[in-house]
Chain A
Amino acid sequence: MANWKTIAEEAADVASGTNSAIKNVEKALKLIEDNSEYQAIINVIKDRALYRAKEIDAKVAKGEKVGRLVGVPFIAKDNFLTYGSETTAASNILKGFEAPYQSTAINKLEAEGAICVAKANLDAFAHGGSTENSDFFVTKNPLDKTRVAGGSSGGSAAAVALGLAPFALGSDTGGSIRQPSSFCGVVGLKPTYGLVSRSGVVAMASSTDVIGPITTSVQDAALVLDVMSGTDPLDSTTIVRNNQPYTVYKQPNTPKIGVIKEYMDEGVDPEVKKVIEEAIQRLKNAGAKIEYVSLPSLPLALAVYYIVVPAEVSSNLSRYDGQRFGFSDGTAVNLDDSYELSRSRGFGAEAKRRIMIGTHVLSSGYYDAYYKKAQTVRTKLCQEFTSVFEKVDYLLGPVVPEVAFKIGANSEDPLKMYLVDIMTVASNLVGVPAISVPAGTAQGMPVGIQLIAPQQHDLDLLQLAKWYEETR
């Protein structure tokens, strides 16, 4: 739905006085209200957004210098701490939580004049691939209300697909930006690990969490990344960014693209496979050199992921103890009782499941067999990525082996739900950037292709993605 021009055009319109920030905010709030049936949004940030819009418009009227995203509304996944609304991570344990500070990513966007207007639904604590694990409600796919929008950034992807705002923010621990983007037919970028500060984003798995933009075009994603990326004294895991702006487009010169054999073999829906093969043909026609490559340890990535991530989850979620913030059970008689009751009543089923798996794989007697073993197989994966990137510049494959599934189809079987992540988790485990770009449809639903580049080659990745976008 073309409710908005490109982000740069929207900002230019506000800067020139052709449009105003206040009109943009009112438009976004109206669109959010009109599309409430999709349940993409948990909370709107009305007062603060309108206040900031007025400030921005006054600046423009006075001829003061304004930022690159001036007056552009956006939506953040509800695991980003924000001023002006609750931050719940779609969990009961954080219901009513008002963040005392704001995430760095949002501060950087605001410094360039962007305005956060709402918080999007997710699987509680970003645990899941369909938003069905949200403690509040399930987001519906904008193209078919009986299907999921994907997850965990399902609300963000649906919001962008519905055109509620020009862009949204998501977080990606094992595919949570790319998978819903594929399911909703939008662009979702998972940058290199460490490129964007995670300060003020509810932690899930610290060794794989990244945050990134969900947009309707690659150039919009590049602009948002350009504003958000870079080192942050509040996040010691941030890396020094590329000197060149991510927004400058240079057409790739006969790029070498490796099609991942393991992702094209069995288990991929035939119609999805056809879309990916057409994408490969388009890139070939445009001048790309295509070869099929193998990363033999890829089939192990999901098992590694479902050991490492729950381990980190169990650690990161230990801070929800009912004492300092979040839900606290008032009936407890002593401190230990208070911990147990607050956590048992505050956490949903999936959070509990992951906390217990994590506790198991980290417990003495099992640590070596599960956790250490998984982290060692992770080394194997990293080595295979390094060596394949000596042969090719990029990797290509599907994002998900299927299209958006029906609401409820996987919710009775947690393991089946985990298998949805099979083609996205490896990029997180090795820290490389990956993007989902709309490539076509299967069974009438959107299909994305996944493009992957070596660590810190985010600019190259964006250029390839835009190049692909132009072949369509």
Chain B
Amino acid sequence: MSQLSKQDILKLARLARLRLSDVEVEKYQKELSAILGYVEHLDSVDTSGLTPTYQVSGLTNVVREDEIIDYGTSQEDLLKNVPIRDGAYVKVKRML
């Protein structure tokens, strides 16, 4: 299970929206296989009767009123880091 093929790496890269060079594909194939090989020993651990822990402080469903709070941040502040803008719009490249 831990041996990843070149194809696996390319598939993962595509899922994660990363484009890799041939050198990177080869490097990650080796490294990711080694890392997955290391974590694989969890397979043999007996976890019968146990449920997963996703949260450790015991908080559940923290809710608040849906209200507007003014934090003094302007629209311009929020938009100043946008790479391509058209006024108050975030501009993106065409889809196709």
In contact, A373 and B84 (Cβ under 8 angstroms): no
Task: Indicate if the CB atoms of B38 and A380 lie closer than 8 Å.
Answer: no
Q: Which residue of A lies closest to B45 (CB)?
A: A377
Q: Is B68 in contact with chain A by the CB < 8 A criterion?
A: no
Of B28, B82, B93, the residue contacting A324 (CB under 8 A) is B82
Chain A residues with CB under 8 Å of B84's CB are 328
Q: How far is the CA of A343 from the CA of B19 in the complex (A)?
A: 8
Q: Does B22 contact A (CB under 8 A)?
A: no
Instruction: State whether B39 touches A356 (Cβ < 8 A).
Output: no
Query: Chain B contacts of A374 at CB under 8 A?
Result: 39, 42
Within 304-344 of A, Cβ neighbours of B (below 8 Å) are at: 304, 306-307, 314, 318, 321-328, 332-341, 343-344
CA distance A300 to B15 in the complex (A): 28
Question: Is the pair A207, B38 in contact by a Cβ cutoff of 8 Å?
Answer: no
A353 at the interface (CB under 8 A from B): yes
Q: Which of A237, A307, A327 contacts B57 (CB 8 A)?
A: A237
A194 to B93, Cβ gap below 8 A? no
Give the residue of B13, B42, B81 whose beta carbon is less than 8 angstroms from that of A377. B42
List B contacts of A347 (CB < 8 A): 18
Closest to B47 in A: A376
The answer to whether A303 touches B41 (Cβ under 8 A) is yes
Give the contacting residue for B56; candidates A193, A325, A357; CB below 8 A: A193
Does A414 belong to the interface (CB within 8 Å)? yes
A340 near B18 with CB under 8 A, answer yes
Number of interface residues of B (CB under 8 A): 54
Taking a contact as CB atoms closer than 8 A, the residue among A318, A325, A353, A369 that contacts B32 in the complex is A353
Q: Is the CB of A376 within 8 A of B78?
A: no
Asked if B52 is at the interface of the complex by the 8 Å CB criterion, the answer is: yes
Q: A353-B32, A376-B52, A377-B42 are in contact. Are A455 and B47 (CB under 8 A)?
A: no
Q: Which residues of B contact A98 (CB under 8 A)?
A: 80-81
Contact across chains for B42 and A321 when beta carbons are under 8 A apart: no
Contact of B17 among A236, A303, A307, A340 (CB under 8 A): A340
A97 to B83, CA, bound (A): 11
Q: Are B82 and A338 in contact (CB under 8 A)?
A: no
B15 touches A335 (CB 8 A): no
B window 1-42: CB within 8 A of A: 1, 4, 8-9, 12-13, 15-20, 24, 28, 31-32, 34-36, 38-42
Chain B positions within 8 Å of A239 at CB level: 57, 59
Count: A-B pairs, CB below 8 Å: 171
> Is A341 a contact partner of B73 (Cβ separation < 8 A)?
no
- Judged by a CB distance under 8 angstroms, whether B86 is at the interface is no
Distance of B48 from chain A, by nearest CB (Å): 10
Point out the residues of chain A lying under 8 angstroms from B42, CB to CB. 300, 303-304, 307, 373-374, 377
Q: Is A100 touching B50 in the complex (CB atoms < 8 A)?
A: no
Once the chains bind, are A375 and B81 in contact (CB under 8 Å)? no
Task: Kindly state the separation between the CA atoms of A300 and B38 in the bound complex, as whole angstroms.
Answer: 10
Contacts known (A101-B73, A352-B18); A382 close to B56, Cβ less than 8 A: yes
A379 and B50 contacting across the interface, CB-CB below 8 Å: yes
The answer, among B43, B51, B57, B80, for a CB contact under 8 Å with A431, is B57
Q: Give the chain A neighbours of B19 by CB distance below 8 A.
A: 340-341, 343-344
B20 in complex: contacting residue of A194, A322, A344, CB < 8 Å: A344
Determine the chain A residues whose CB is within 8 A of the CB of B94 once the complex forms: 334-335
B96 touches A334 (CB 8 A): yes
**Residue A355 CB within 8 A of the other chain:** yes
B72 shortest CB reach to chain A, Å:
9
Task: Offer 22 A-B interface pairs, CB within 8 angstroms, sorted by A.
Answer: A98-B80, A306-B35, A307-B39, A307-B42, A321-B17, A323-B82, A326-B81, A327-B83, A333-B93, A335-B93, A344-B20, A352-B20, A352-B24, A356-B18, A360-B4, A363-B15, A370-B39, A373-B45, A373-B47, A382-B53, A414-B31, A415-B34
Interface residues of B (CB under 8 A from A): 1, 4, 8-9, 12-13, 15-20, 24, 28, 31-32, 34-36, 38-43, 45, 47, 50-57, 59, 62, 64, 69, 71, 73, 77-78, 80-84, 90, 92-96
Q: Which residues of A contact B (CB under 8 A)?
A: 97-98, 100-101, 192-194, 207, 233, 236-237, 239, 297, 300, 303-304, 306-307, 314, 318, 321-328, 332-341, 343-344, 347, 352-353, 355-357, 359-360, 363, 369-370, 372-380, 382, 414-415, 418, 429-431, 455
The 5 closest A-B pairs by CB, nearest first: A375-B52, A328-B83, A431-B56, A325-B81, A236-B62
